[in-house]
A and B are shown apart, each in its own frame.
Chain A
Amino acid sequence: MTQTRISGSFRDPSGFVFRHDGALYRQVNQVYRPHYDAAVESGFFRAAMDEGLLVPHVEVPLAQVPHDDGASVMLRPDELPFVSYPYEWCVSQLQDAALLTLALQRRALEHGLWLKDASAYNVQFVGCNPVFIDTLSFERYPEGRPWVAYRQFCMHFLAPLALACHAHVGLAGLLRVNVDGIPLDLASRVLPWASRVRPALLVHLRLHAQAIARHAQTKEGAAVAQPRPVSRAALLGLVDHLERTIRRMQWSPAGTEWADYYDHTNYSAEAAASKQALLAGLIDELQPRSVWDLGANTGVFSRLASSRGIPTVAFDVDPAAVERNYRQGRKERDARLLPLVMDLTNPSPDLGWDGGERLSLAARGPVDVVMALALVHHLAIGNNVPLAWIARFLRRLGRHVVLEFVPKSDGQVGRLLASRDDIFPDYDAAGLERAFAAEFELRRRLPIEGSERLLYLFSARN
């Protein structure tokens, strides 16, 4: 009998999530019971789950699962195919997560409840569909109280979105360093003047930061100013205003990444068709339970797996490519394909308290199949990573690797070597196979017709 608490689940005294004998449970503590009952009796949980906004759960008898004295109810929530974090999301994903949070706040208020926190980590994605996972975030609405989660909402959602849309998309990465959201004074300071004084951002970021600073407790025994009561109408107005502000933010990536990536690569129609057919064949043969596509760009080849019902994560370092991938998947309500932003040369590390709250990329693997299509040359040549090190890295992520090798004779690699010395004597098919031999068994080497590229299938030795 094994029971382990999920490492990020500890801040809320209302309950926590843990694993027992492989299954996922949520313990609901007695202190939360009145709120839980209100959420059930008002019909809120049922409505939110039926609408697909809140992760579904079922109640299980307490006696069925080991629990401590504080437990009141035991829940079994649905499990997610993959856990992702806000610093891995593209702009539209963060936007949709924000809108989902606000939609639930509105629904909750309709049922006499509200959100006691508004952390971006309350939201996860099932494919391209956002879902709220923190069932215990909802509490009975105390009439007249200002929204306790307003500051957190602005730090987790509004600030990074404003920075990404009005300053630079790369600033969304600040979420990795600031695990509890981007400080409002920082966001306000970094925004260009024109954006800083837009009424909505002026209030929710700049004035908000100033109000917080002004009323921070600095002196012992200094009188604490009492906030005025805030009516329910005002709360709904605030939610409405935040929603409009967020909907108005659109990120339009400038630059060549947004243009057709595949125009810049050396694919003839014949080669593209050959690659698709070979890949499809390999996926059908391997029948993986899950796939990670590394360097997936807009997900053209990821969809070969996801369209077969296989949960697939499509990683790319370019936020514009991920954005495009996500917008397409969202339009199709794709529940299998999850696009994420990831720099493979500096992937998400372990983060948070004791380095254990948010898992690194490798800790969320390994998966059955990793696809590394037209990727290795970026790592080996573009980033000077030895091929054997790439093999070790890929082994940590997946049991089978489908790899597209682009030789030096191909224009893509030629471009990488154009302005530098060729210090890669071992970069060729034979060198690749030698480098991968320690970790993998070479199962297939398939030439892509109409090109000089090779499609490999490697399977882990142990």
Chain B
Amino acid sequence: MNANRSTNSIARWQFAILVAALLGARDAHAYLDPTTGSMILQGIVGGAMAGLFVVRRQWAQLKGWFSRRRAAGTDSSQAPSGRDAD
């Protein structure tokens, strides 16, 4: 949240224009008010979420690779476990 304050004002304007462009009129029909605070929170935690997501994906791939190695010799495919809600 303090990122803007620490840059000089020209950079701040550039950033604001960039953000404004990104936030452009494309979703004019998003009739919901997302509220500023909610969007700001995502900006803060987004990086961590992205990181966690990547780590989890890599971990799942690693696990999959190991269990395929262990099951080498059989033809069994990995059956998805857990709920079917996805």
- Cβ A225 vs Cβ B36 within 8 A: yes
* Residue from B16, B37, B38, B48 in contact with A226 in the complex, judged by beta carbons closer than 8 Å: B16
> Is B86 in contact with chain A by the CB < 8 A criterion?
yes
> Is B27 in contact with chain A by the CB < 8 A criterion?
yes
On whether A229 and B43 interact (CB within 8 A), knowing A150-B34, A212-B35, the answer reads: yes
Q: Which A268-285 residues sit within 8 Å CB-CB of chain B? A: none
A207 to B43, CA, bound (A): 13
Which candidate, A11-19, A166-174, A256-264, A397-405, is the interface stretch facing chain B? A11-19
- Cβ A139 vs Cβ B43 within 8 A: no
* Chain B hits for A208, CB < 8 A: 37-38, 41
Q: Which A31-74 residues sit within 8 Å CB-CB of chain B? A: 31-32, 35
- Cβ B27 vs Cβ A211 within 8 A: no
Which candidate, A235-243, A306-314, A410-418, A425-433, is the interface stretch facing chain B? A235-243
- Cβ B22 vs Cβ A216 within 8 A: no
> Is B73 in contact with chain A by the CB < 8 A criterion?
no
- Cβ A238 vs Cβ B46 within 8 A: yes
> Is A152 in contact with chain B by the CB < 8 A criterion?
yes
> Is B26 in contact with chain A by the CB < 8 A criterion?
yes
* Residue from A100, A151, A226, A228 in contact with B34 in the complex, judged by beta carbons closer than 8 Å: A151
A240 to B45, CA, bound (A): 13
A-contact bits for B37-60, CB 8 A (1 contact / 0 none): 111111111111111111010000
- Cβ A228 vs Cβ B43 within 8 A: yes
- Cβ B22 vs Cβ A142 within 8 A: yes
- Cβ B19 vs Cβ A229 within 8 A: yes
> Is A349 in contact with chain B by the CB < 8 A criterion?
no
* Chain A hits for B82, CB < 8 A: 247
A383 to B29, CA, bound (A): 49
A130 to B29, CA, bound (A): 26
* Chain A hits for B39, CB < 8 A: 146, 148, 150, 227, 230
* Chain A hits for B26, CB < 8 A: 140, 142
- Cβ B83 vs Cβ A215 within 8 A: no
A13 to B24, CA, bound (A): 18
* Residue from A35, A144, A211, A216 in contact with B41 in the complex, judged by beta carbons closer than 8 Å: A211
* Apart from A145-B27, A151-B38: 19 A-B pairs, beta carbons within 8 A: A31-B29, A99-B86, A146-B39, A146-B43, A146-B46, A148-B39, A149-B34, A210-B37, A212-B36, A216-B35, A226-B4, A227-B36, A227-B39, A228-B3, A230-B39, A230-B46, A234-B46, A241-B52, A243-B86
